[in-house]
Structure 1
Amino acid sequence: MPQLTLSLVGADGTVRGTSTGEDLVQLDTRYAEYQPGDVLVLESGEKNVELEVMLDESLPPSVVYLADGRLEFPIPFEAARDSYPSHAFLGDTHWGYARVLDPRERSSWRNLALNSHDLEGADGIYPHASTNSGATNPRFIARNAIDGTWQSIHHGRWPYESWGINGRDDAWLQVDFGRPVHAEEAVLVLRADFPHDTWWEQATLTCSDGFETTVHLKKTGVPQRFSLGEVGRDIEWIRLSDMVRADDPAEFPALTQLIVMGTLG
């Protein structure tokens, strides 16, 4: 088992707390609020490691693949907090952990795209969502589509954050897994703040193995499920593109969640 280290590092580089473990590491900070510039640093003694990670009690635990064995998670402040639970990272007592995934867990049917710890511009940390939309408002950035929050009836800050296309008709959203995973089903949750929102009547799902399918969507905020083949497929990424808007006067289509169901291997 790789050695894991989880540390809280201040803006000046001072290590304000640290913990180390062989296959499980926990870090609790007591009687000290987070400060601007604080970063949670997770390090593994091995690269290409699969971990279950939860760096704040309010975030869903996520299976994260660290290609480089390191995750730096800046504590969000001000506008950056809009895509996180309102109580996340607040107060003077915090608890987080990371543990090495047991190989037997890889066969569990799960949401392969879920990563509540995804970061814009992250490198070597998966699943990772990226887009060409150009949206910079934290309420509408790519990571919101894989953070595990399904609430679709409104728009704005958490729990109503979403991926928005920023007015682009050629926008796409891609989720990279960092290594092959076995995907069987894609699930789209459209934002449904009607009549503020419009919706997409169809879109294209493309996988890294060349598979492509056109999906037809309904005006609803409930999950809409689409098969990725009778026996599924081994893929490294999936992309949503070529969305076609409904004939509707509203201006704003958006995606609350992109879910990919399957197994890690």
Structure 2
Amino acid sequence: MKITHTDRLGKKLSEASGENSVEIEILGEFGFEDILIFEMEPGSFVEVDIDPTFNKSIVYAPDGKIVYQLPVGPKARAYDPEAFKGERHLITMERVSREWLAKRRNLAMNSLDTRWDTGYFPHASANVVTRDEPWFEAKNAIDGHLSRVGHGAWPYQSWGGGLRDDLVFRLDFGREVLIDEIVIYLRADYADDHDINWESGVVTFSDGEKMPISMKKVEEGQSYAFAEKKVTWIELSELKREISAAFSALTQIEVFGRDIL
């Protein structure tokens, strides 16, 4: 296993390796659009801790590689302003045991996800992103952060598609998993009627089954349990709200289940 730190042009700045875990200490400030490359055996599950402001994430890397370019400019506004700041950075990667993979957990969270196809999973995508602004990208709905009484940049990043009625959110796991519950946290910027809740929607599973759901105007997560099923992806679509001129958005989606070993 190996972690490599390069500049935006791919020039290697530092590197560290290990058998089942690896950590790298980077001294000094990061450069503009620096890149972190995590390498491991193809098909590996690794837990990555990339920054204190990020949630640790279990990532599945079918090709044995995770390439993460540090966000800058408008992209950085979807993250804590302190992310990747300072003169000392400790980044770790650890192989995940089969025993842990067999346990029930939230299979959706990946704080390292980015908007476009990454080659590692879980990965969120959507057919529409409000004004193409980073703080409304689908990846925000699986970053593990739950602040939801406002809207816009950090800490209220969410997936939003504006006032469209044809929205589709997709979550790819990159392999077959067994799931039995979905929890949805709607963005709850209900002050002055900025937000309104979606009242209904449809969850489509990769096996073709559809599950209609109803949603309420609440801040807490809304749970939808079902008999355990094998899937590779899920989609959320047919989202309906009562007032077409009010916004609705998804702060977080959690999908509980386990890996198939």
The TM tier, using the shorter chain, reads over 0.9
Give the letter aligned to residue 37 of structure 1: E
Structure 2 counterparts to residues 78-157 of structure 1, below 5 A: 78-135=73-130, 136-157=132-153
Q: Matched residue of 1:82: which SS? A: helix
- Residue 162 of structure 1 is matched in structure 2 by 158
Q: Matched residue of 2:48: which SS? A: strand
Q: Distance in 1 between matches of 2:85 and 2:152?
A: 20
Counterpart contact for 1:198–1:249, Cα < 8 Å: no
Q: Which residue, 226, 251, 259 being the options, matches 1:256?
A: 251
Q: Quickly say closer, same or farther: Cα 1:12–1:216, change in 2 above 3 A.
A: closer
Q: Matched residue of 1:125: which SS? A: coil
Q: Quickly say closer, same or farther: Cα 1:41–1:112, change in 2 above 3 A.
A: same
Q: Distance in 2 between matches of 1:121 and 1:49?
A: 21
Counterpart contact for 1:38–1:74, Cα < 8 Å: yes
Counterpart contact for 1:165–1:171, Cα < 8 Å: yes
Give the letter aligned to residue 161 of structure 1: Q
Would you say 1:241 and 2:237 are equivalent positions? yes
Q: Could you tell me how far 1:101 is from its partner in structure 2?
A: 0.7
Q: Distance in 2 between matches of 1:143 and 1:234?
A: 23
Would you say 1:20 and 2:17 are equivalent positions? yes
Q: Quickly say closer, same or farther: Cα 1:243–1:183, change in 2 above 3 A.
A: same
Counterpart contact for 1:152–1:190, Cα < 8 Å: yes
Would you say 1:71 and 2:69 are equivalent positions? no
Q: What count of residue pairs does the alignment treat as equivalent?
A: 257
Structure 2 gap segments, 5+ residues each: none
What TM-score, normalized to structure 1?
0.94
Q: Distance in 1 between matches of 2:22 and 2:76?
A: 25
Q: Matched residue of 2:15: which SS? A: strand
Q: Distance in 2 between matches of 1:253 and 1:134?
A: 12
Counterpart contact for 2:183–2:223, Cα < 8 Å: yes
Counterpart contact for 1:198–1:250, Cα < 8 Å: no
Q: Matched residue of 1:126: which SS? A: coil
What TM-score, normalized to structure 2?
0.95
Q: Could you tell me how far 1:249 is from its partner in structure 2?
A: 6.8
Q: Could you tell me how far 1:122 is from its partner in structure 2?
A: 2.5
Q: Deviations over 1:185-230 (max 9, x none)?
A: 0011000101211111000001112221110100112100001x23
Q: Distance in 1 between matches of 2:173 and 2:34?
A: 27
RMSD of aligned C-alpha atoms? 1.2
